[in-house]
Amino acid sequence: MRPRESIELAPFTTLGVGGAARFFFDAPDAASVRQALAWAKERGVAVRVLGGGSNVVVPDGGFDGLVLRPLLRGLRFRDSGSDVEVAVQAGETWDDVVGDCVERELQGLECLSGIPGWAGATPIQNVGAYGQEVAETIDRVDVLDRATLETKTLAAAACRFAYRDSRFKSEDPERFVVLGVHFRLRRGGPPSVRYAELTRYLAELGVERPSLADVRRAVVVLRGKKSMLHDANDENGRSCGSFFTNPVVSSETAAAIETLSSDPAMPRYPQPDGRVKLAAGWLIERAGFAKGLRKGPVGLSTKHALAIVCHAGASASDVLALAETIRAGVHERFGVTLVLEPVVWT
């Protein structure tokens, strides 16, 4: 176990900000992950796990510890009755996994096309988009317990998935390293088309009975129109995608916000538990933060008010300052406290 030292972390993140790691190690397999954690434990060195860097804000001061990247690779398909079990190692590029599954006509991940990052991150925040989320198809997750340095497998129920959340994110954020994810997908199943925007776009194309490939292509186009693809040539490309989650509130609170906004067309999405999910981007714009807003070297995407974008000279403190300004403005206007979607290292 020979970690590199003083490695700048900004190039490993989609925001492109943040300082250096005191130690940095790429682990190609589970044994190397265990060795790295043991090395850090023996020396009293703190550890942060970094995947594709698409959902993290690294502080300007960097991290005075070991940054560990689990580069485990591998994708395996196994018949399981009428379904197919897809075993994905943590270091696989997520969109490549989705593309491979769609090519094999396996239903369950098609709406999650175009999302940057690695497969190992998907169960952590229960990645979702366009009406689909990984919790619907995850069967189990392989992890390494940092407390015991033992590998174990957690059934989906033990992961305690919720909206953009899981046990890994909010309950035990420092306990597990995800090594691999097992999905259960339907062979030849019809695509999931539950999201209104996706439904409208397919109708505009005249696609009455879309295939999995049709839905994948449509989702990529829609994400591209919002600069929600990781594209180095896009002026909005340096971002984490959505910087805030959509708030879920009581029906009474939703009605009060609609009254405050004086807009009966306020987007609202009833939830099974009787609460209502609101559109964070809509709240941000109605609170006075327009698309394309600039605050020095950072701003909002010109195409999507949910995305904070870095420009030349941006720092992590600039990003977090703008995020806090937006949160304060939305709270003052509507009484809603937005929750950050990316993980902010401290």
Catalytic residue, chosen from 54, 113, 192, 242, is: 242
Residue 155 belongs to domain with CATH number: 3.30.465.10
37 with 134, same domain: the answer is no
Domain boundary among 24, 53, 70: 70
In a domain, 122, yes or no: yes
Average pLDDT, the chain: 96
Domain boundary among 14, 38, 70: 70
pLDDT of residue 318: 98
Q: Find where tokens 């690695």 sit.
A: 118
- Whether 202 has a pLDDT exceeding 90, the answer reads yes
100 with 188, same domain: the answer is yes
Query: DSSP state, 12?
Result: G
pLDDT of residue 231: 84
- Split at pLDDT 50, 70, 90, the class of 177 is very high
Catalytic residue, chosen from 85, 258, 285, 341, is: 341
Q: Catalytic: 104?
A: no
Catalytic residue, chosen from 164, 184, 223, 238, is: 164
pLDDT one-digit tens code per residue, 275-321? 999 999 999 999 999 999 999 999 999 999 999 999 999 999 999 99
**Tally of domains within the chain:** 3
**In percent, how much of the chain has pLDDT > 70?**
100
**Which two three-digit tokens encode residue 36?**
């790295």
In a domain, 310, yes or no: yes
d(Cα 171, Cα 47) in Å, to the nearest integer? Answer: 17
146 with 98, same domain: the answer is yes
When pLDDT is averaged across residues 228-252 and rounded to a whole number, the result is 93
- Whether 232 has a pLDDT exceeding 90, the answer reads no
In a domain, 120, yes or no: yes
How big is the CA angle at 247 (ends 58 and 169), to the nearest 5 degrees? 45
10 with 60, same domain: the answer is yes
pLDDT one-digit tens code per residue, 24-73? 999 999 999 999 999 999 999 999 999 999 999 999 999 999 999 999 99
Quote the domain boundaries for residue 126.
75-225
Residue 38 belongs to domain with CATH number: 3.30.43.10
In a domain, 243, yes or no: no
Neighbours of 4 (CB within 10 A): 11
In a domain, 180, yes or no: yes
- Split at pLDDT 50, 70, 90, the class of 230 is confident
In a domain, 214, yes or no: yes
Q: Catalytic: 238?
A: no
Residue 305 belongs to domain with CATH number: 3.90.78.10
- Split at pLDDT 50, 70, 90, the class of 176 is very high
Domain boundary among 20, 41, 70: 70
214 with 273, same domain: the answer is no
In a domain, 238, yes or no: no
Q: What are phi and psi of 47, to 5 degrees?
A: -130, 140
When pLDDT is averaged across residues 268-273 and rounded to a whole number, the result is 92
127 with 146, same domain: the answer is yes
Q: Find where tokens 């538990």 sit.
A: 273
Amino acid at 298: V
- Split at pLDDT 50, 70, 90, the class of 201 is very high
pLDDT of residue 69: 98
62 with 80, same domain: the answer is no
pLDDT one-digit tens code per residue, 70-91? 999 999 999 988 899 999 999 9
When pLDDT is averaged across residues 171-179 and rounded to a whole number, the result is 95
- Chain center to CA of 168: 13
In a domain, 288, yes or no: yes
Q: Catalytic: 341?
A: yes
- Split at pLDDT 50, 70, 90, the class of 1 is confident
35 with 12, same domain: the answer is yes
11 with 89, same domain: the answer is no
**In percent, how much of the chain has pLDDT > 90?**
97
79 with 221, same domain: the answer is yes
Contacts of the segment 112-116: beta carbons below 8 A, 24+ positions apart: 112/219, 113/215, 113/216, 113/219, 113/220, 113/223, 114/219, 114/220, 114/223, 114/224, 114/228, 114/229, 115/54, 115/223, 115/241, 116/14, 116/52, 116/54, 116/229, 116/230, 116/241
207 with 266, same domain: the answer is no
pLDDT of residue 246: 95
- Whether 182 has a pLDDT exceeding 90, the answer reads yes
309 with 322, same domain: the answer is yes
